[in-house]
Copies of this chain bind each other. A is one copy, B any other.
Amino acid sequence: MYENGYNLEPKWKEECGVYGVYSHTEDVSGMTYLGLYALQHRGQESAGIAITDGAWMDVTRGMGLVNEVFRHQVPHMENQCIAIGHVRYSTTGSSLLANTQPLMVNYAGGKIALAHNGNLTNAAEIRHDLEQQGTIFQTSIDSEVFVNLIARSRQETIEDKVIESLKKIKGAYCLTIMTESKLIGARDPQGFRPLCIGKTEEGSYIISSETCGLDVVGAEFIRDVLPGEMVVIDEDGIKSYPFATEEPKASCIFEYIYFARPDSVIDGQSVHDARFMMGRMLARESGCQGDIVISVPDSGTTAATGVAFESGIPFVEGLIKNRYIGRTFIQPTQKKRDTAVKLKLNAIRSVVEGKRVIMVDDSIVRGTTSGKIVKMLRNAGAKEVHMLISSPPIGYPCYYGIDTSVRKELIAATKSVEEIREYIGADTLHFLSIEGLKQSVSAVDPEAMCYACFNSAYPIEDGEKPAGDSKYVFEQRKC
């Protein structure tokens, strides 16, 4: 986007956040706009809102944050009654704008809009089949595959068309779909990605990737959409259509470790509590000794407070994060080593000087940033730096919606814990065990979760793992 810009992106990237509102009395597009603000942490590359008044349908999409895309006005329509929204991550590529969501199309049954979070593992295969039958594709997103399945379905009702389509796809996904009269939500059979339902005092229904999207509009949490369930909201209220409920569950553990907002609750498990408990388990497992507990802000903070709670060692702020950086900055001409890290984080000398510092982070990607932070702490006078990571080492790619484009660079894929410790220069290094992780999510069934990025036990067994960077599989095919 910015040719000379230096990228300051988050360490892990998930695909998206989805949202939907059905209401005949409240401002559906305004609520969707607020909901997308609450889900912004799930995707910062593009945003979009589609609305309908029961007859006309329109969509507004753009590159950037919600407050950039909707800088001058929030989409609105007289008598609007349904809206869906989308925020998304993705890296650079061709046709960026064309790939934004929600996707809106005409088909024989009318107009339909769709927002999608996740990754289909058999998209390439379906796409190939559809192309052989004469279908064209204008984008490289899975949503277009899905909407073609709906359009080609011979089923009579939109409900049956969607269910037939859902049965054909595999992978991790949550969908919000909008027709002129219905709001539909669906969650994949394994329940990889979260999706929940809320209701306002006035009776408006909300579908949201996370419960924090309900809170921001003052809606009550009703329940999670179940794995393998489709829900349809229209003037008759809400109906449930289980389409694949018998499959083993495999919710993504990384939603609890990093992706979801701490104030969200997924499948009955508070994200904050899970993260806090990971810190406590980590303290127990590591038997950490030190003078102070600090976190790598912001993602390491909840676990750090758990470490402090369990160990009795005080939690203090040792690293200050600059809140005004934005996603890119222009690298000045004369390059300074480590500028990006220094710009984001600074150590507080008076806090760490002469101290045995226990530093808590949620995960390690390449180890380079961790190494720079350790060095920054030592330069600020830290006597010892003990690093605690509130997740196991990540050694395997994810095929269910997390960007694994950096896989080859994953330090835990090729190095032992001791080698990583040496690489980042910490005095000690502890990762939380998978067992400890399981004990941290006691409100749900820990066995009904996906730990594949730690142990390669992929819950979808058909081996349809995209070869490389899955996002580009369609773009790369011929070009």
Instruction: Give Cα distance in the complex from A322 to B37, angstroms.
Output: 8
A272 touches B317 (CB 8 A): yes
Given A151-B135, A479-B111, are A71 and B2 neighbors across the interface (CB < 8 Å)?
yes
**Chain A interface residue number, banded:** 35 or more
Cα(A73)–Cα(B105), bound, Å? 31
Q: Are B263 and A347 in contact (CB under 8 A)?
A: yes
A339: which B residues are within 8 A, CB to CB?
34
Q: Flag whether A218 is at the interface (Cβ < 8 A).
A: yes
* A324-B55 contact in complex given A135-B151, A308-B315, C-beta closer than 8 Å: no
Q: Given that A217-B336, A348-B270 are contacting pairs, would A305 and B315 also be in contact in the complex, using a CB cutoff of 8 Å? A: yes
Q: Is the CB of A334 within 8 A of B30?
A: yes
A190: interface (CB < 8 Å): no
Asked whether any CB of chain B lies closer than 8 Å to the CB of A333, the reply is yes
A149 vs chain B, min Cβ distance (A): 9
Determine the residue in chain B with the shortest Cβ distance to A105.
Answer: B136
* In the complex, A309 has a CB within 8 A of chain B: yes
Q: How many copies does the complex hold?
A: 4
Instruction: Collect the chain B residues with CB atoms within 8 Å of residue A55's CB.
Output: 478-479
Distance of A348 from chain B, by nearest CB (Å): 5
Asked if residues A37 and B108 are in contact (CB atoms below 8 Å), the reply is no
Query: Is A132 interfacial (CB 8 A cutoff)?
Result: yes
Q: For the complex, give the distance between the alpha carbons of A468 and B59 in Å.
A: 25
A461 CB to closest chain B CB (Å) equals 29
Judge if A215 is at the interface, Cβ distance under 8 Å: yes
Q: From residue 439 to 479 of chain A, which have CB atoms closer than 8 A to chain B?
A: 474, 477-479
Q: Which of B56, B58, B330, B350 contacts A270 (CB 8 A)?
A: B350
Judge whether A350 and B272 touch: CB under 8 Å: yes
Least CB distance, A458 to chain B, in whole angstroms? 28
On whether the beta carbons of B218 and A4 are closer than 8 Å, the reply is: no
- For A273, the chain B residues whose CB sits under 8 A away are 350-351
Say yes or no: B73 contacts A4, CB within 8 Å.
Answer: yes
Contact A332-B67, Cβ < 8 Å, known A58-B95, A317-B302, A350-B272:
no
Interface: A342 (CB within 8 A): yes
Q: Considering the complex, which residues of chain A in the window 391-442 have a beta carbon less than 8 Å from any beta carbon of chain B?
A: none
When the two chains form their complex, are residues A216 and B332 in contact, meaning their CB atoms are under 8 A apart?
Answer: no
In the bound assembly, the distance between CA atoms of A27 and B334 in angstroms comes to 6
Give the residue of B38, B67, B474 whose beta carbon is less than 8 angstroms from that of A106: B474
A157 beta carbon closer than 8 Å to chain B: no
Q: Which of B2, B73, B316 contacts A276 (CB 8 A)?
A: B316
Chain B residues closer than 8 Å to A34, beta-carbon distance: 332, 336, 339, 342-343
Contacting residues, chain B, for A212 (C-beta < 8 A): 320, 346
Known: A27-B334, A72-B2, A263-B347. A67 touches B135 (CB 8 A): no
Question: Any chain B CB within 8 A of the CB of A287?
Answer: no
A94 contacts B by Cβ under 8 Å: yes
Bound Cα distance A428, B161 (Å):
58
**Max chain B C-beta neighbours (<10 A), residue from A59, A136, A265, A339:** A136
18 contacts between A and B (CB under 8 A): A27-B332, A27-B333, A31-B332, A34-B332, A34-B343, A95-B104, A97-B97, A106-B138, A106-B478, A107-B135, A111-B479, A136-B148, A216-B346, A263-B348, A270-B351, A272-B348, A308-B314, A309-B314
Nearest 4 pairs of A and B residues by beta carbon: A30-B332, A134-B152, A27-B334, A270-B350
Supplied contacts A67-B325, A73-B330, A107-B131, 8 more A-B pairs, CB within 8 Å? A30-B336, A34-B339, A105-B136, A108-B131, A263-B349, A270-B351, A273-B351, A308-B314
